[in-house]
Chain A
Amino acid sequence: MKIERVDLAARLNEMRKQGYTYLVGITAVDYVNHLEIIYFVRDLAKNTEDSINVDLDPSDAWVPTITPHFKSADWYEREVGEMFGIEIRGRRTDRLLLEKWNGKAAPLRKNFNWNEPYETMID
């Protein structure tokens, strides 16, 4: 289901209380004119799944963190954040897979320049 990013943390917390306790993963897709970030949650007892989509503006891409509600979101958020250049607000912003990068280039965005020299991407 599609929701606004301001409701994200509250909505996920509500779902967690309803029984969707297991976070399967977080991913994002770059549809050029908008970014979509998707949260997959699962109810292990009832064996049902749900996903939550949030549309973001590529130039103003940020979402609130959900780590207070889902502990396991830590690494997923870090990965999505650095791969898509999405700012995750409300948490420490250390890098995960691209430790040495300075965060200016986001490889999974469609406008990522492959031929950019490596030196400009790292600190």
Chain B
Amino acid sequence: MSTRINIGPVHPSTHGVLRLLVDIDGDRVESVEPHVGLLHRGVEKLVENRAYMQNMPYMEKLDYVAPLSYAEAYVSAVEHALGIEVKARAVYVRTVLLELQRIASHLLWLGVMANDLGQFYTVFMWAFRDRDKVLRLMEETSGARMFHVSMRLGGLQHDLPKGFEDRCHELLTYLEKQVDKYRNFLEKNSVFVERMQGVGLLDKERAIALGVTGPVLRASGVNYDVRSNNPYYAYDALGFEPQVRSGGDCLTRYDVRMMEIEESIRIVREALNALPEGSALGMPIRFALQAVQERVSVVKREMPRGECMMYLVADPQQPYRLHVRSPSFANLSALSEIAKGCKTADLFAILGSLDIVMGEVDR
């Protein structure tokens, strides 16, 4: 005998407006059916009617936890289509900003994940405090807190401000200490380990068949990270190493993300040290009409949540068609398979460990 319960669209831990139809037999989840589309606003249609740079805010609002990553992916697609080179300094500055954004995103995930497990907001508060510090540093580069709109074709709107390097190094040292603190706090807690270990198991073959991406895929033992397999920007030069584990459960996903924060800290540090001189400024928003070099361009980027693919069919002034393959969409589509047969409490641990953002699922 199973009971059908309706979780969401407004529920404390569905990370936005996700609706789950769950069949429960006792404490066991028989089946989960995610219903999405409650945030669908037709981004892909809207961007077909705007000039290239007018689309920047739309792209940033796809994933509102890591807006800068999407802006960068979109700008790269346009650069690819119009045949614009990125300046040498801008390459490094973008790497720094992308990795800072990744740290901020993973910190938010950490806080929310702990909350999903029933932590009474403690890790949430700590992680948000540190995320705020990262955001404040990024605010210096553009003047905006969340939606920077600072990417320009061929570079950025502003170069890094004076003294940014020192403040960034200071913050990174602080963050390193904090990450250690979180790991100590959580991993020495046997209840936390018990909640995460062996939950939401996903082995290598199933992970590939279900098409999950990003940290979830890497936690299942698949060595695929766009930053190392199709290197872009300064990742190759800085010796980026993907974080791969083979556990495949929630604890492994947690581990991969925590290690990614540490790897990001290292990359930012080395990128700051190797920052070339020169200008990082890109073209102004109202650039002259360009000849389209590539009608169809495909750009792949490693977002905090996984692999994003921008499929751009270009017109001279505006996109003819822009498809966004969003990582959360891929991960959420696997939820019903991963969560089948788990306990009710584990459902939320699994959902938390997938790290979804509904804005980019629904688009």
Q: Which residues of A are at the interface with B, using a C-beta cutoff of 8 A? A: 21-25, 27, 29-30, 38, 40, 44, 47, 70-76, 79, 83, 95-99, 107-108, 112
Contact = CB atoms under 8 A, between A and B. Distances in A.
B325 A24 contact: yes
Contacts of A27: 311, 323, 325
Contacts of A96: 36-37
Nearest to A21: B208
Contacts of B229: 47
Interface string B45-63: 1000000000000000000
Contacts, number: 70
A25 B288 CA distance: 33
B45 A108 contact: yes
B209 interface: yes
B35 A99 contact: yes
Contacts of B333: 72, 74-76
A47 B300 CA distance: 13
Contacts of B363: 97
Contacts of A97: 36-37, 40, 362-363
A57 B325 CA distance: 24
Contacts of B64: none
A63 B87 CA distance: 44
A29 B37 contact: no
B42 interface: yes
B362 A72 contact: no
B330 interface: yes
A44 B40 contact: no
Contact of A22 (B42, B44, B211): B211
- Ordered nearest first, which 3 A-B pairs have the shortest CB separation? A72-B211, A97-B37, A75-B333
Contacts of B313: 29
A88 to B, nearest CB: 15
Given A24-B307, A71-B211, A72-B210, 6 more contacts: A22-B211, A24-B211, A44-B208, A47-B229, A71-B209, A72-B334
A95 B136 CA distance: 41
B34 to A, nearest CB: 9
6 contacts: A44-B224, A72-B330, A75-B333, A97-B37, A98-B37, A108-B321
A30 B321 contact: yes
A117 B326 CA distance: 29
Contact of B45 (A23, A74, A112): A112
A22 B323 CA distance: 19
A69 to B, nearest CB: 10
A101 B222 CA distance: 38
A38 B311 contact: yes
B213 to A, nearest CB: 9
Interface in B277-306: 298
A40 B211 contact: no
A99 B333 CA distance: 16
B188 to A, nearest CB: 35
B209 A72 contact: yes
B277 to A, nearest CB: 34
